[in-house]
Structure 1
Amino acid sequence: MWRCERCGRTFAQRNQTHTCRPLGQLDAHFVGKDALVRATFDRVLAVVQGFGPVEVLAEQTRIALHVRMSFAAFVPRVHWLDGHVVLAQELAGPRFRRVEVYSPRNVLHAFRLSDPSEVDAEVEDWLVKAYAVGCGLHLG
């Protein structure tokens, strides 16, 4: 792991390109948002914390979940939570708003959640697979 001396973030690769800014406060992302948006994020975080340690990075434009690398990110909107997970392979499903293939083992899957009840078994499956990517387990 490499840690940027300026912003303190950790990365899987030395001198990895990134937007070097200090992290903000998590609560600031939820100012002016519906209470269900925060409850939905908290439910996602509780699920992920069940897998093992995770770092919550309150970046300027998003909230990233990070272990060896960031494997999920969320942007709170007024009435919903936009998010994505990075998976090692492409998954199909009607809940994905878009899928972007960056490399054979780096596939972004974007989705939207409006209520904690939407963090169901399917979303938990995405999160456990993304956590494995974040840990680098998909690299063999």
Structure 2
Amino acid sequence: MDRDRSAAPLWRCPLCGRTFAARNQTHTCAEVGDLDRHFDACAPQVRATFDRIVAVLQDIGPFTVLPEKTRIAFHVRMSFAAVMPRRKWLSGHLVLDRRIENPRFTRIETYSPRNILHAFRIASPAEVDDEFTVWLAAAYRVGEQRHLTG
């Protein structure tokens, strides 16, 4: 029987303060950056698309936005999604607990049987539709590590 990892206490890196599900997890130990900097060279719809993703996630549950050097990660117990703003779109990925074949995913990489990266590219808030919202909710569940409890 799997123990409920979603209830275990988080480990906080003593240097950067970031939280992790695994003690001493390997990471780029750096302070988070400026969120707005990621959008400096972007068309307005790129920020609007990001804001739509944030709004959908806020309806799902609490999370942390981590503006890192090369990406913006979404984190609960673990990072479950990330985006990289480009001039006219967001490149990104969701971590799901099963493989979903869909032409909206540009690449799928299996890291473990229940941690499967699904890469995407979206260019407008309208693309954060009902289908994408279902995937965000599934990724959020992975971020909570609830997919490991049964």
TM-score range, shorter chain: over 0.9
C-alpha distance in structure 2 between counterparts of 1:93 and 1:60, whole Å:
29
Unmatched segments (≥5 aa) in structure 1: none
C-alpha distance in structure 1 between counterparts of 2:31 and 2:138, whole Å:
28
C-alpha distance in structure 2 between counterparts of 1:41 and 1:134, whole Å:
18
TM-aligned CA deviation for residue 25 of structure 1:
1.0
TM-aligned CA deviation for residue 121 of structure 1:
0.8
- Pick the aligned partner of 1:103 from 82, 96, 112: 112
C-alpha distance in structure 1 between counterparts of 2:16 and 2:42, whole Å:
28
- Pick the aligned partner of 1:84 from 93, 116, 119: 93
Unmatched segments (≥5 aa) in structure 2: 1-9
Instruction: Please report the TM-score for the alignment, with normalisation by the length of structure 2.
Output: 0.92
CA deviation map 1:74-97 (0-9, x unaligned): 000000001100000111000000
Alignment of 1:42-121 (within 5 A): 42-121=51-130
C-alpha distance in structure 1 between counterparts of 2:30 and 2:70, whole Å:
11
Percent identity over paired residues: 60
Q: Which structure carries more relative contact order (alpha carbon 8 Å, separation 6+)?
A: 2
Greater than 3 Å deviation, 4+ residue runs:
none
C-alpha distance in structure 1 between counterparts of 2:53 and 2:103, whole Å:
19
> Tell me, what secondary structure is at the counterpart of 1:97?
strand
> Tell me, what secondary structure is at the counterpart of 2:118?
strand
RMSD between superposed Cα atoms in Å: 0.5
- Which amino acid is the alignment partner of residue 64 of structure 2? E
Instruction: Please report the TM-score for the alignment, with normalisation by the length of structure 1.
Output: 0.99
State yes or no: 1:29 paired with 2:38.
yes
